[in-house]
């Protein structure tokens, strides 16, 4: 069974083009940021956000080791996405990734929160280009994770199906506590 993180990468690879701009809304240890930098290539650009400087330091090291300089690291809450990303990038972003929860091996109290996650997701929907993709890996088994996952699911359920195509992918089981990957594609004009 392919890991959900790898499945997110596979789906994004189909859509995100060289030279485009992408966002990692939860940089963590930098695996997703690195993948996005590789996918958009040197002519593209990636914004990677995290509330923890320790996470961004890890991400910066991973990028440096791989020789990427096309990433802007932003130490902030992703609920600020709408203000931080300049208005000229509205509806210009090819892919946006969220991997919710806490930094593996880090401080487990620094965890994504339902309210800021929803604010960030709404901003992300405005930033996506036509045909662009948003992935959200959610962990209902974490403290607060069940409520956060349900809130994400509710938000996506209310999206106009004419404007957004949605699916949910489970890794092993579809039990209430199983991690799941929400995938949203903005319908092409």
Ligand X SMILES: C[S@@+](CC[C@H](N)C(=O)[O-])C[C@H]1O[C@@H](n2cnc3c(N)ncnc32)[C@H](O)[C@@H]1O
Binding site for ligand X (CB under 6 A): 26, 28-32, 49-52, 55, 77-78, 99, 101-103, 110-112, 116
Do the Cβ atoms of 33 and 58 come closer than 8 Å?
no
Closest residue to ligand X, Cβ-based? 28
Give the residue carrying structure tokens 């956000």: 49
- Identity of the residue, 3 or 187, whose beta carbon is nearer to ligand X in the bound complex: 3
CB nearer ligand X, residue 92 or residue 116? 116
- Rounded to 10°, the helix 4-15/31-40 angle is 20
- How far lies 79's CA from each of 25, 54, 93, 113, 170, in Å? 9, 19, 17, 10, 26
Q: Least distance from C-beta 120 to ligand X, angstroms?
A: 7
Minimum distance, C-beta of residue 127 to ligand X, in the bound complex (Å): 15
Alpha-helical segments (H) within the chain: 4-15, 31-40, 53-66, 81-84, 114-127, 145-157
CB of 130 to ligand X, least distance (A): 25
Report the nearest approach of ligand X to the CB of residue 98 (Å): 8
Give the residue with the Cβ less far from ligand X, 94 or 179: 179
């Amino acid at each position: 069974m392919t890991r959900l993180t790898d499945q997110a990468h596979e789906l994004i690879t189909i859509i995100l083009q060289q030279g485009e701009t992408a966002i990692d809304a939860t940089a963590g240890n930098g695996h997703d940021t690195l993948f996005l930098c590789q996918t958009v290539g040197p002519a593209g650009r990636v914004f990677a956000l995290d509330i923890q400087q320790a996470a961004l330091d890890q991400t910066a090291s991973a990028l440096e080791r791989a020789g990427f300089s096309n990433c802007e690291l932003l130490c902030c809450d992703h609920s600020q996405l709408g203000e931080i990303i300049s208005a000229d990038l509205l509806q210009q972003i090819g892919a946006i990734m969220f991997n919710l929860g806490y930094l593996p091996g880090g401080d487990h109290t620094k965890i994504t929160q339902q309210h800021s996650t929803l604010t960030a997701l709404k901003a992300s929907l405005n930033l996506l280009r036509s045909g662009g993709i948003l992935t959200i890996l959610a962990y209902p088994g974490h403290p607060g994770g069940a409520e956060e996952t349900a809130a994400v699911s509710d938000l996506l359920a209310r999206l106009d199906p004419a404007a957004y195509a949605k699916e949910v992918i489970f890794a092993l089981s579809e039990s209430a506590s199983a991690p799941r990957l929400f995938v949203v594609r903005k319908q092409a004009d």
